[in-house]
Amino acid sequence: MLAVGETAIGSWALPTMSATRPPVSAPWHVLAQAVRSGPPLARRPIVIMAVGAASVAFASAMIVISWQYDGNSLAPYGHSAGAFAVAAAIGVAFLSAGLAAWWRRPDNLVGRLMVAAGTVWYASSLQFTRSAALYAIGYWLAYLAPVIVGHLALAYPDGRLRRRRELWGVAASYLIYLTLQGLRYLSEGACHTVGLPAGAGSGCASPLLGGLVSLDALVFDALFTVWVVRRWLTASRPARRIHAPVWLAFSLHSVVLAATVLSALFRMPQTIQLALVLAYGLCLLVLPFAFLSGLLRVRLARHRVTDLVLRLDGAPGPTRLRDLLAEALGDPSLVLGLWSEAAEAYVDASGSPVSASDPGTGRAVTVVERRGRRLAVLVHDPSLVEQRSLVDATVAAARLALENARLAEAALNERRSIERDLHDGLQHRLLRLSWLADQVGATTEEPGARPLLAELASDARAAYVRLRELASGIHPAILTERGLAAAVEEHVLRVGVPVLVDLPRDRLPVAMEAAAYFTVAEALTNAVKHAAPSRVTVRGRLEDGLLTVEIADDGAGGADPDGGSGLRGLRDRAAALGGCLSVRSAPGLGTAIVLELPCG
């Protein structure tokens, strides 16, 4: 606990505040794991509640003990109830924010580190227990909490220390503090009477070791702050947006901490020291909530994945998919490369290759695979690496979408291949059959056979024509070859009513061209069959990645938008591509069917 007062000020190493680890084992386990950057733990409510209860019990006990020490004189706090309250609140703040963070982000170590800092914060009060052993522990761990706060600042936001030097730095900060403070206890703590009844007096204070502990704190404080500031400087826009408040709060805290330590080292007027200690206390009070809100902001980002999944449901094209992923990840610079079997490379929506290696571009690369098969690659802002679960969730969603697109395309390819098989195999055999019949008919000596052979030839030709119509109904060749506008224009030549066609001639994703084509064809068939129109207009436009096609007739109208398997089929087809189909039909006013498809 933060303690200010005559007893403490003289021997301040750090401004008089102290920290201890609580008498529970979990945080030690947590600490060890933090340094090791261990694997994330699943949420275990019982563990979290047990640790929380133990920590809170310990904290309460320590607050009571320090309050009662020396007959409620609040001597260690400069006899100030305010200072006592601030000191007591800091640990509570870390504990509550830490437990909340642990609960909401069980896979993230930051919550557990905050719980540890909050608990250890009260360890110094063990010095008031009048037990030599507890006094020793309290003394030893008195200033451990600030060390944990440094660790926290570097481990935020993903709970891991990302660089080797950070790992070494944090390990060194723990080791050096524990060593120095341990030595300090051995040399002076034993004769330091705080909390012990009439000890050997306080004349054996060792300014050297106390100074070294202060120096140690100053050095690591400065080092970690430099690292944090550098993180801020090199962070991308999305990363700054989320983390800047935390980095700012920590940096401010560090400056105040340095000032406080220096004011004590140089024995500045007590009022100044007191003011700085209080400022430092207030910084510490704010810091855990900064960490927590930062973590939850990252978590909020994960909710965007939910939106993403819903929007991916419509099998968007590559450009749209990229936009959706960029939005979900909060990274407008995202590049999406789809694996092309043909090119054996990742290509973007325009077909340009996307490099999946990371040759010092400062961009991070995430590969999307399915059972070892390459699907796509995301080239994104490196800050997203720290939001690994967000990236993982996004990638999982993207994987589903890509798999779906692949299945849809496979189905479409299947249709095209059936059409091609008919073309290559059966149709040509029928043509040859008719040709052979003609040949034989022309050369036969048997006059009676000629009419039969002629009939055979014409039958084979008729079968060929019928087969061609069938194949065309499965997937018209010109749709593949020239796209939607050409295919529809070709189709309307065979429709019994005047059809005015005005469609964009841009090539669109295959599935979309097919959906739009069959919608138009079905709508025309329906119009001719049921509405007896004098004309039909097919108009389409491509705007902002949305293809809108309207098929309007001036016929009888009164079509039931919900009835008829034809319309339902069209609606399902549109929905499968993330589009929608609406029908406007009033008796006597004709029917208009509007198809809207998002396109990549």
Partner 1 sequence: MIVAEDVGLYRDMLVGTLAGAGLAVTGQAGTADEAVALVDSDPPDVVLMDIRMPPTYTDDGVRAALRIRSRHPGVAVVLLSQHGEAEYAVQLVRELERGVGYVLKERVAGAPELLDVIRRVAGGGVVIDPDVVMRLIRRPRVDDPLSQLTERERETLALMAEGHSNAAIATRMGIAVSTVEKHATSVFHKLATNLDGAELAGDNARVRAVLTYLQHTGRIATTDR
**Residue numbers of the site for partner 1 (CB under 8 A)?**
420, 423-424, 427-429, 431-432, 434-435, 438, 457, 461, 464-465, 468, 472, 476-478, 480-482, 485-486, 489-490, 492-505, 534-535, 537, 539
Residues 6+ apart with CB under 8 A from 80: 4, 74
Q: Supply the angle between the helices 270-312 and 144-155 in degrees, to the nearest 10.
A: 30
- Identify which of residues 43 and 505 has a Cβ nearer to partner 1 in the complex: 505
User: Closest approach of Cβ 436 to partner 1, in Å?
Assistant: 8
- Identify which of residues 356 and 501 has a Cβ nearer to partner 1 in the complex: 501
User: Closest approach of Cβ 576 to partner 1, in Å?
Assistant: 25
Full strand arrangement of the beta sheet holding 335-340: 353-354, 345-347, 335-340, 373-380, 364-370
User: Closest approach of Cβ 416 to partner 1, in Å?
Assistant: 9
Cα 352 to Cα 281: distance, rounded to the nearest angstrom: 56
- Identify which of residues 248 and 433 has a Cβ nearer to partner 1 in the complex: 433
User: Closest approach of Cβ 492 to partner 1, in Å?
Assistant: 8
User: Closest approach of Cβ 427 to partner 1, in Å?
Assistant: 7
User: Closest approach of Cβ 332 to partner 1, in Å?
Assistant: 31
Q: Which amino acid is at 123?
A: A
Q: Identify the CA nearest to 175 among candidates 99, 167, 504.
A: 167
3-state SS assignment for residue 75 = helix
8 A C-beta contact, residue 591 and residue 555: yes
- Identify which of residues 369 and 469 has a Cβ nearer to partner 1 in the complex: 469
Residues 6+ apart with CB under 8 A from 195: 69, 126, 127, 128, 129, 130, 135, 138
- Identify which of residues 530 and 535 has a Cβ nearer to partner 1 in the complex: 535
Cα 257 to Cα 276: distance, rounded to the nearest angstrom: 8
User: Closest approach of Cβ 516 to partner 1, in Å?
Assistant: 14
Count of Cβ atoms closer than 10 Å to residue 59 Cβ: 22
Cα 81 to Cα 59: distance, rounded to the nearest angstrom: 18
User: Closest approach of Cβ 401 to partner 1, in Å?
Assistant: 27
Would you give the DSSP letter of residue 377?
A: E
